[in-house]
Structure 1
């Protein structure tokens, strides 16, 4: 199996203007991700799907190929699934995609290699990144009272006594493109790669960006 790397990077982010070009440790988010993917070196090709020329220019300079994203797939309401399906439609020769989120700035080689091996050597149909959470979760009932979701009141777990919950962190999704026919990125034989909590930051707000900029010099050198 050959796997193609894909980054979705539209230009219309609202919380942080042109978020994908924000600087973290003197590199743009888009170039940070492309740099790691190029260093990994096993992907058939690396693509950035974007509707913005400045992002396209930065991606080209960083060594990626460009798919021009349609206006319909780059709106605030459009899902990532729609953008991925659009890309796959224009590249029917691709049988597997590794979708990366450049707003997860602390991607490293080791989890990529784990996911790649699970797809190519172990026969998984989809593999995605998760982080273990030890939070006790609650939900509202119809009368606005609350009930526990992932534990029992009479058996409230201590952190050291349970495995926690696996939470998607959005860093990457590997999948066979045939799954797109069912409108999913995850399906078939599914597996996960765990990302340490300190590398799972996802940049959605200006505060997230400031946190990433503060800790990047430490994590990038570790």
Structure 2
């Protein structure tokens, strides 16, 4: 299982990889309709590397205080999510994976949870009218562009969250850190306010302060 001792190490590595690659390029449940855009080979390779690790997440904390904070976050988020995901094991596995994939991509878990709320209302098998799939409503073309061409895997929890987080990270880097524009690009509605505003509002509902 993937094992890391520092949250920041994985996030920084992925962020730098995508940022360096990007430097080579000068709905009712508001479904993610990412557009297939021209992409430099370096960006494609960076994204492929970001999603290629298939082993389930396992994290460890060298600092007991950090572990305590994580467990407190997990408990609080589990309580908030209980009505949407009533099965305890499913809910904890989902939250553990959201936390892991968010940190790995250098994203805030609350942002990712907010995006999932808007995109799929936490429905694992959600499918939009344009074919976007799963929790983070990832478009099937991504499995061809950066994956193994098996779009069915986008309904698998970790695969969907890993793709979604890596793609959002890419868009944030592509937009120079402008989250508003990056969210619009993720949804295929860049420049329009409805989707970014909905995600940013949902983000606030999932914020946690120890």
Whether TM exceeds 0.5 here: the answer is no
More helix by share: 2
Higher relative contact order (CA 8 A, sep 6+): 2
More strand by share: 1
TM-score scaled to structure 1, two decimals? 0.27
